[in-house]
């Protein structure tokens, strides 16, 4: 019993150290990524295309729907309490600071996190990783780093688009249901939007991008031989991404409110 | 090959460029809206209390926001140091002898404001200078000496209170005279006074004059008060806008030391006082009515008396003079009872 | 010419000892063939010797230099001169045939022009007998075609140290001849080839140096004639089994 516990603990520590080593190597390789000619640059472009550009329609739809709901509720419900002005702080809190980065992260976890973990896992099973090594291509530099940069950059960009569609696009949707004066809306919106809101949002999407890409690539590479390991590792990657994203979100939010 | 795969680089480039442009445009507009790129002039001032002051609070000149409070600190001598900035567009107003005033709403709720009064000088105050507040003698002296462009207070409620003061004094004077007259008349008709009826008439004339003046005065002031109604309405609008700040309103309502709480927790003292005042006014009105009726009925007799009692008038004058000098009939205003302070919250009140 | 040496190499995976204290030296400029029954660790030995799997203990020396302690540049130089043909082709599934061949070229010869690169790719594909579109993905190819492309990918960088892990297994007879021709060309050249062939006839024809393996151990080394005439009972049994299997397969 005691021996089992001890073995489990040692294995756990080894696993954590391995993960840390992996993250460190990815960060190190990222620094050198843009130096010279890199075959991985094409992979990076494709990653941004798949993770960023191809997710734009879902992000735009969700952001506009969410923003429109907040505005409609704000202009119809809040004046009953004499709190019409609160529409803007609520809109900024939900779209920019809290739900925007988190929803983008969840969509990316579901779309790209799973795809990356599956693809790398499959690469391992079909000996493609060995083929990369044999061809003198570092799998970490060629597979992990472009995905790490691609997902992080995509999440940052998608967060900007989410804010744009949520704050501005939703205004136009609202015009069909409950017209709001444009000048008044944008003036108030811009007066309530603070640089720290943008900073908090950017930090969150940056952190979420790092978490999602590292989890997906790490668990992808953890597949050893069998294809049955692939879905198991995908589930682990998704679980880890959700947990760490929520934890980091809580920490950044805490820092924002206690600063 | 699919279109978006073939032109992946161009699409990604466009995707990144548009996002960067969006964030750039938002930041630029945000900066313009929040005056990031404008030069602000920084000044300091000092107040006796920090109550009503807050960081970010607007500094206003004639209703225009000309700057805002950056920092509030309690000094070693328990005065409050305020650092604030004024927008470059209003820097020309920051002239020598300018003063600040912290205006707090007299009814305790709604917004209070930090008001700026420019000096009459043409010389501008340099950046980072000290601007005195009206909390201290220096600021008050500047106003007293007419060196500050300070218009009369536009606080409507304060104006009404100021207008009502002299009106009440006049009413009081009238009531005192009425009392004197009633005593004299009573004595005269009871036969206890040898009082000169001419003096009574004289008194009536005086009283009528007083009433006329009073009515004219009151009418004028009521007109002024009515004229202020629009101001009151505007103020009420401002107050109601102030009420939208739930935090402020709720805090004030729940504050155990607050005005509303005090009103609710004074064991009906204020209510009793108001009821007493109203009863007194009612009684006086009744007496006046009776007296007017009586005067109307007695007019022929008064004429007869006037004709027949010249001697009595002389004596009556002496008597009335004596009566006037009697301190009991002076009719001084009774001292108002002090409102006892209550420290209890309204939640402790039995309903 | 490159030499490959293994010193007391042990490789353990999932608590199973796959290679057990192997010490062997593959001669430079010769074709070395590993012979042994299925599951004895031939492929693993090749991959450890190629530096694809780091050994659990022991050393892998390439031209006398330890593969595990090589600098990045030395390792890159080793990769530039070596190539590996996988048993299951191991083509990159998300890349076309052209991209599978152009990527190693881009890595090792970044300065060659696109035309030169295209010419090289088309030339090697023709040599291996691939005639289909170069824009097809591996999933769209037959098993034999995949093997061709895999061999072409290994040869496109003109390597001097070639590892062949059963390159002709499950290959269509129509393309087998062309691929065999290429392997024979390698044998005749002065390149160092370390191979694992499933066919004993090919092994007999192309082997300069042979190593007989059993249960993760090398039990006999020598020339092919030494192997065929050896008196070591374990080695004799293994050779007999392989010859019998090869004969029945051909029938």
B282-292 pLDDT per residue, tens: 776 677 667 66
Mean pLDDT of A234-258: 94
**Region of poorest pLDDT, from A35-44, A52-61, C23-32:** A35-44
Q: To the nearest whole angstrom, how far is the Cα of C99 from the nearest Cα of chain A?
A: 11
**Region of poorest pLDDT, from B44-48, B54-58, B60-64, B162-166:** B162-166
Asked if C203 contacts C33 with a C-beta cutoff of 8 angstroms, the reply is: yes
Which is it for strands C4-13 and C209-214: parallel, antiparallel or unpaired?
unpaired
Instruction: Report which listed range, A36-40, A68-72, A130-134, B121-125, is most confident.
Output: A130-134
Instruction: State whether residue C218 is helix, strand or coil.
Output: strand
Pairwise CB contact (< 8 Å): A53 & B9: no
Q: Which residues have C-beta within 8 Å of that of residue A194, sequence separation ≥ 6?
A: none
Instruction: Determine, yes or no, domain membership for B140.
Output: yes
- For residues C241 and C101, the model is more confident at C101
Residue B254 scores a pLDDT above 60 = no
Q: Which residues of C touch A135 (CB under 8 A)?
A: 79, 83, 103-104, 107, 153, 157
Q: Which residues of B touch A209 (CB under 8 A)?
A: none
Structural domain total, chain C: 1
Q: Is A128 on the interface with C (CB under 8 A)?
A: yes
Instruction: Determine, yes or no, domain membership for B25.
Output: no
- Model confidence at B98, pLDDT cuts 50, 70, 90, reads very high
Q: Is the ipTM of this complex over 0.85?
A: yes
Same domain, B74 and B95: yes
Residue C210 scores a pLDDT above 70 = yes
At B110 the pLDDT is 46
Q: To the nearest whole angstrom, how far is the Cα of C14 from the nearest Cα of chain A?
A: 10
At A151 the pLDDT is 97
Asked if A202 contacts B23 with a C-beta cutoff of 8 angstroms, the reply is: no
Q: To the nearest whole angstrom, how far is the Cα of A233 from the nearest Cα of chain B?
A: 29
Q: Is A42 on the interface with C (CB under 8 A)?
A: no
Q: Is B24 on the interface with A (CB under 8 A)?
A: no
Examine the fold and report which residue of B123, B144, B165 is the final residue of a domain before the chain moves on. Answer: B144
Same domain, B193 and B319: yes
Q: How far is CA A43 from CA A71, A146, A196, B9, C94, in A?
A: 40, 6, 33, 11, 11
Asked if A213 contacts B50 with a C-beta cutoff of 8 angstroms, the reply is: no
Residue B252 scores a pLDDT above 60 = no
At residue A231, φ and ψ (nearest 5 deg) are: -60, -35
**Region of poorest pLDDT, from A151-160, B183-192, B308-317:** B308-317
- For residues B106 and C156, the model is more confident at C156
Q: Is C50 on the interface with A (CB under 8 A)?
A: yes
Instruction: State whether residue B318 is helix, strand or coil.
Output: helix
Query: Each residue of C74-92: pLDDT tens digit?
Result: 998 999 999 999 998 999 9
Q: Which residues of A touch B246 (CB under 8 A)?
A: 81, 83
CB atoms within 10 A of CB C202: 19
CATH of the domain at C124: 3.40.50.300
**Region of poorest pLDDT, from B108-122, B285-299, B301-315:** B301-315
- Model confidence at B317, pLDDT cuts 50, 70, 90, reads low
**HSE-CB for C27 with a 13 A CA cutoff:** 15
Which is it for strands B80-87 and B40-47: parallel, antiparallel or unpaired?
antiparallel
Same domain, B127 and B160: no
**HSE-CB for B201 with a 13 A CA cutoff:** 17
- Model confidence at B334, pLDDT cuts 50, 70, 90, reads very low
Q: To the nearest whole angstrom, how far is the Cα of A39 from the nearest Cα of chain C?
A: 7
Q: Which residues have C-beta within 8 Å of that of residue C217, sequence separation ≥ 6?
A: C20, C21, C22
Q: Is A13 on the interface with B (CB under 8 A)?
A: no
Subunits close to B (at least 3 CB pairs below 8 A): A
Residue B178 scores a pLDDT above 80 = no
Structural domain total, chain A: 1
Scan for tokens 């190597």, then name that residue.
A25
Instruction: Determine, yes or no, domain membership for A6.
Output: no
Q: Is C160 on the interface with A (CB under 8 A)?
A: no
Pairwise CB contact (< 8 Å): C47 & A130: yes
Residue B326 scores a pLDDT above 50 = yes
Instruction: Report which listed range, A124-133, A181-190, B184-193, C103-112, is most confident.
Output: A124-133
Q: Is C251 on the interface with A (CB under 8 A)?
A: no
Instruction: Determine, yes or no, domain membership for A251.
Output: yes
At B214 the pLDDT is 61
Instruction: State whether residue B128 is helix, strand or coil.
Output: coil
Q: To the nearest whole angstrom, how far is the Cα of A43 from the nearest Cα of chain C?
A: 11
SS (H, E, C) B289-309: HHHHHHHHHHHHHHHHHHHHC
Q: Residue A46: closest CA among chain B residues belongs to which residue?
A: B8
Of B4, B19, B33, the CB nearest to A190: B33
CA B82-B259-B105 angle, to 5 degrees, is 45
Instruction: Determine, yes or no, domain membership for A24.
Output: no
- Model confidence at B249, pLDDT cuts 50, 70, 90, reads very low
- For residues A38 and B326, the model is more confident at A38
Residue B342 scores a pLDDT above 50 = no
Q: Which residues of B touch A153 (CB under 8 A)?
A: 16
In sequence order, the β-bridge partners of residue B84 are B43, B69
At C10 the pLDDT is 95
At B330 the pLDDT is 52
Same domain, B125 and B78: yes
Same domain, B234 and B127: no
Q: To the nearest whole angstrom, how far is the Cα of C3 from the nearest Cα of chain A?
A: 17
Instruction: State whether residue A259 is helix, strand or coil.
Output: coil
CA distance A168 to A178: 15
Pairwise CB contact (< 8 Å): A127 & C94: no
Q: Which residues of B touch A160 (CB under 8 A)?
A: 19-20, 22-23
Pairwise CB contact (< 8 Å): A82 & B23: no
Instruction: Determine, yes or no, domain membership for B14.
Output: no
Same domain, B165 and B242: yes
Mean pLDDT of A142-156: 95
At residue C130, φ and ψ (nearest 5 deg) are: -85, 125
At residue A247, φ and ψ (nearest 5 deg) are: -65, -45
* Domain interval for residue A152: 41-258
Asked if B115 contacts B103 with a C-beta cutoff of 8 angstroms, the reply is: yes
Pairwise CB contact (< 8 Å): A157 & B16: yes
Instruction: Determine, yes or no, domain membership for A199.
Output: yes
CA distance B141 to B147: 9
Of B12, B34, B244, the CB nearest to A48: B12
Q: Which of C94, C159, C160 to mutate to test the interface with A (most CBs of A within 10 A)?
A: C94
Residue B250 scores a pLDDT above 50 = no
Q: To the nearest whole angstrom, how far is the Cα of A85 from the nearest Cα of chain B?
A: 9
Q: Which of A35, A123, A127 to mutate to test the interface with C (most CBs of C within 10 A)?
A: A127
Pairwise CB contact (< 8 Å): A126 & C52: no
Subunits close to A (at least 3 CB pairs below 8 A): B, C
Pairwise CB contact (< 8 Å): B16 & A153: yes
**Beta-strand (E) ranges in chain B?**
40-47, 58-61, 64-74, 80-87, 99-103, 113-117
At B153 the pLDDT is 61
Q: Residue C94: closest CA among chain A residues belongs to which residue?
A: A119
At A192 the pLDDT is 86
Residue B75 scores a pLDDT above 80 = yes
Examine the fold and report which residue of B92, B112, B144 is the final residue of a domain before the chain moves on. Answer: B144
Q: To the nearest whole angstrom, how far is the Cα of C181 from the nearest Cα of chain A?
A: 23
- For residues C198 and B157, the model is more confident at C198
Look at residues A126, B165, B93, B154 and name the one whose alpha carbon lies nearest to residue C91: A126
Q: How far is CA B258 from CA A133, B54, B109, B350, in A?
A: 77, 19, 9, 19
Mean pLDDT of A89-93: 89
* Domain interval for residue B90: 40-144
- Model confidence at B332, pLDDT cuts 50, 70, 90, reads very low
Reading the block at residue C199, the tokens are: 């066919």
Pairwise CB contact (< 8 Å): A56 & B15: yes
Q: To the nearest whole angstrom, how far is the Cα of A15 from the nearest Cα of chain B?
A: 36
Q: Residue B24: closest CA among chain A residues belongs to which residue?
A: A160
At B230 the pLDDT is 52
- Model confidence at B351, pLDDT cuts 50, 70, 90, reads very low
- For residues B174 and B25, the model is more confident at B25
At B205 the pLDDT is 63
Same domain, B193 and B331: yes
Instruction: Determine, yes or no, domain membership for A15.
Output: no
Pairwise CB contact (< 8 Å): A49 & B33: no
Residue B154 scores a pLDDT above 90 = no
At B156 the pLDDT is 56
Instruction: State whether residue B282 is helix, strand or coil.
Output: helix
Q: Which residues have C-beta within 8 Å of that of residue C166, sequence separation ≥ 6?
A: C43, C87, C196, C197, C198
Q: Which residues of A touch C83 (CB under 8 A)?
A: 134-135
Of A49, A161, A198, the CB nearest to B4: A49
Same domain, B292 and B163: yes
Residue C239 scores a pLDDT above 60 = yes
- For residues C204 and B130, the model is more confident at B130
Q: Residue B5: closest CA among chain A residues belongs to which residue?
A: A46
- Model confidence at B248, pLDDT cuts 50, 70, 90, reads very low
At C251 the pLDDT is 47
Instruction: Report which listed range, A170-184, B165-179, B243-257, is most confident.
Output: A170-184
* Domain interval for residue C158: 4-250
Residue B243 scores a pLDDT above 50 = no
Q: Is B48 on the interface with A (CB under 8 A)?
A: no
Structural domain total, chain B: 2
Q: To the nearest whole angstrom, how far is the Cα of C163 from the nearest Cα of chain A?
A: 10
Pairwise CB contact (< 8 Å): C14 & A127: no
Mean pLDDT of A159-184: 85
Examine the fold and report which residue of B144, B175, B203 is the final residue of a domain before the chain moves on. Answer: B144
Same domain, B58 and B166: no
Q: Is A85 on the interface with B (CB under 8 A)?
A: yes
Instruction: Determine, yes or no, domain membership for B26.
Output: no
Subunits close to C (at least 3 CB pairs below 8 A): A
Pairwise CB contact (< 8 Å): C103 & A137: yes
């Amino acid at each position: 019993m005691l021996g089992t516990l001890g073995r489990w603990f040692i294995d756990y520590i080894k696993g954590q150290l391995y993960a840390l080593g992996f993250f460190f190597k990815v960060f190190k390789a990222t620094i050198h990524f843009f130096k010279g000619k890199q075959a991985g640059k094409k992979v990076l472009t494709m990653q941004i295309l798949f993770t960023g550009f191809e997710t734009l329609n879902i992000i735009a739809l969700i952001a506009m729907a969410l923003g429109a709901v907040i505005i409609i509720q704000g202009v119809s419900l809040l004046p009953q309490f004499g709190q019409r002005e609160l529409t803007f702080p609520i809109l900024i809190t939900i779209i920019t600071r809290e739900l925007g980065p988190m929803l983008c992260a969840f969509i990316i976890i579901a779309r790209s996190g799973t795809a990356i973990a599956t693809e790398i896992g499959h690469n391992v099973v079909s000996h493609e990783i060995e083929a990369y090594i044999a061809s003198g291509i570092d799998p970490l530099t060629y597979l992990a780093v472009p995905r790490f940069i691609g997902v992080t950059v995509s999440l940052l960009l998608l967060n900007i688009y989410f804010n744009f569609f949520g704050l501005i696009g939703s205004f136009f949707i609202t015009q069909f249901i409950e017209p709001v004066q444009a000048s008044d809306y944008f003036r108030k919106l811009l007066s309530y939007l603070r640089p720290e809101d943008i900073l908090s949002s950017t930090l969150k999407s940056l952190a979420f991008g790092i978490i999602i890409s590292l989890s997906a690539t790490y668990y992808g590479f953890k597949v050893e031989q069998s294809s049955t390991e692939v879905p198991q590792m995908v589930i682990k990657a998704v679980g880890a991404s959700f947990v760490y994203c929520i934890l980091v979100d809580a920490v950044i939010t805490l820092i924002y409110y206690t600063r | 090959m699919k279109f978006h795969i073939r032109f992946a680089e161009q699409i990604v480039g466009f995707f990144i460029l548009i996002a960067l442009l969006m964030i750039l445009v938002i930041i630029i507009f945000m900066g313009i809206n929040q005056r990031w790129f404008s030069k602000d002039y920084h000044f300091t001032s000092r107040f006796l209390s920090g109550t009503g002051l807050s960081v970010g609070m607007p500094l206003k000149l004639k209703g225009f926001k000309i700057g805002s409070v950056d920092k509030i600190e309690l000094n070693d001598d328990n005065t409050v140091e305020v650092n604030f900035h004024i927008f470059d567009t209003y820097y020309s107003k920051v002239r020598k002898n300018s003063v600040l005033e912290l205006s707090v709403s007299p009814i305790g709720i709604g917004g209070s404001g930090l008001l700026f009064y420019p000096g009459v000088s043409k010389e501008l105050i340099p950046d980072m200078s000290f601007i005195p507040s009206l909390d201290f003698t220096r600021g008050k002296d500047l106003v007293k000496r007419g060196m500050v462009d300070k218009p009369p207070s536009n606080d409507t409620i304060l104006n009404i209170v100021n207008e009502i003061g002299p009106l009440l004094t006049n009413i009081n004077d009238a009531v005192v005279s009425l009392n004197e007259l009633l005593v004299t008349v009573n004595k005269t008709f009871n036969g206890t006074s040898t009082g000169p009826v001419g003096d009574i008439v004289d008194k009536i004339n005086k009283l009528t004059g007083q009433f006329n003046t009073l009515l004219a005065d009151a009418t004028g002031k009521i007109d002024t008060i009515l004229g202020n109604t629009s101001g009151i309405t505007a103020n009420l609008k401002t107050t109601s806008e102030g009420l939208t700040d739930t935090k402020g309103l709720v805090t004030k309502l729940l504050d155990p030391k607050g005005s509303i709480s005090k009103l609710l927790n004074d064991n009906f003292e204020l209510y009793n006082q108001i009821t007493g005042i109203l009863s007194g006014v009612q009684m006086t009105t009744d007496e006046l009515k009776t007296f007017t009726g009586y005067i109307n009925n007695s007019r022929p007799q008064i004429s007869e008396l006037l004709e027949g009692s010249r001697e009595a008038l002389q004596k009556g004058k002496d008597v009335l003079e004596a009566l006037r000098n009697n301190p009991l009939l002076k009719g001084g205003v009774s001292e108002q009872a002090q409102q006892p302070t209550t420290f209890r919250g309204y939640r402790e009140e039995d309903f | 010419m490159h030499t490959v040496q293994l010193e007391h190499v042990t490789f353990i995976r999932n608590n199973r000892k796959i290679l057990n204290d192997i010490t062997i030296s593959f001669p430079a400029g010769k074709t070395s063939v590993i012979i042994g029954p299925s599951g004895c660790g031939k492929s693993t030995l090749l991959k450890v010797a190629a530096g694809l799997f780091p050994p659990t203990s022991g050393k892998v020396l390439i031209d006398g230099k330890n593969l595990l302690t090589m600098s990045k540049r030395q390792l890159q130089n080793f990769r530039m001169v070596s190539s590996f043909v996988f048993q299951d082709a191991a083509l990159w599934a998300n890349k076309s045939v052209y991209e599978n061949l152009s990527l190693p070229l881009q890595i090792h010869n970044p300065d060659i022009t696109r035309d030169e690169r295209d010419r090289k790719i088309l030339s090697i594909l023709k040599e291996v007998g691939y005639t289909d579109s170069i824009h097809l993905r591996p999933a769209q190819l037959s098993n034999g075609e995949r093997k061709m492309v895999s061999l072409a990918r290994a040869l496109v960088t003109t390597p001097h140290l070639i590892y062949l892990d059963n390159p002709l297994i499950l290959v269509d007879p129509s393309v087998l001849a062309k691929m065999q021709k290429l392997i024979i060309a390698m044998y005749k050249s002065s390149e160092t080839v370390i191979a694992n062939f499933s066919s004993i006839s090919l092994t007999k024809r192309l082997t300069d140096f042979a190593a007989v393996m059993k249960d993760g151990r090398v039990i006999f080394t020598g020339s092919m004639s030494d192997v065929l005439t050896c008196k070591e009972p374990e080695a004799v049994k293994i050779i007999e089994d392989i010859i019998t299997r090869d004969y029945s397969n051909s029938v």
